[in-house]
């Protein structure tokens, strides 16, 4: 799916750096066997943040949908294999 294709390079880049969540309302922590470090996916005012960094391409998409599509991994991206968010 389009969201997965957008996320893959962004996630890899963000996993190499550590950011703060900041003042966000709704967050889930995601981790999996192919993720070097657990990361937070948050939503604030219709915007999606990964470890505190806004992902403009996902604006207007709900946190629930982003999480659902990451976990579904319909594009079979190795980094998202067996990903779990809570």
Count the neighbouring beta carbons within 10 Å of the beta carbon of residue 75: 14
Q: Indicate the helix (H) or strand (E) that contains 64.
A: helix 63-72
Q: What is the reported pLDDT for 14?
A: 53
The upper half-sphere exposure of residue 69, i.e. CA atoms within 13 Å in the direction of its Cβ, equals: 17
Segments in the chain below pLDDT 50: 15-24
Q: Which domain range does residue 51 map to?
A: 2-85
pLDDT of residue 15: 47
Number of domains composing the chain: 1
CA dihedral of residues 44, 45, 47, 48 (deg, nearest 10): 20
**Left, alpha or beta for 83 (phi > 0: left; psi -120 to 50: alpha)?**
beta
Per-residue model confidence (pLDDT) at position 10: 66
* pLDDT-above-90 percentage for the chain: 71
| Per-residue model confidence (pLDDT) at position 45 | 92
pLDDT at position 12, please? 55
């Amino acid at each position: 799916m389009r969201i997965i294709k957008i996320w893959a390079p962004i996630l890899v880049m963000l996993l190499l750096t550590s950011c703060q969540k900041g003042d966000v309302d709704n967050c889930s922590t995601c981790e999996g066997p192919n993720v070097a470090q657990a990361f937070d996916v948050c939503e604030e005012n219709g915007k999606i943040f990964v470890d505190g960094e806004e992902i403009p391409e996902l604006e207007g998409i709900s946190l629930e949908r982003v999480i659902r599509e990451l976990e579904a991994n319909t594009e079979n991206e190795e980094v998202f294999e067996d990903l779990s968010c809570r």
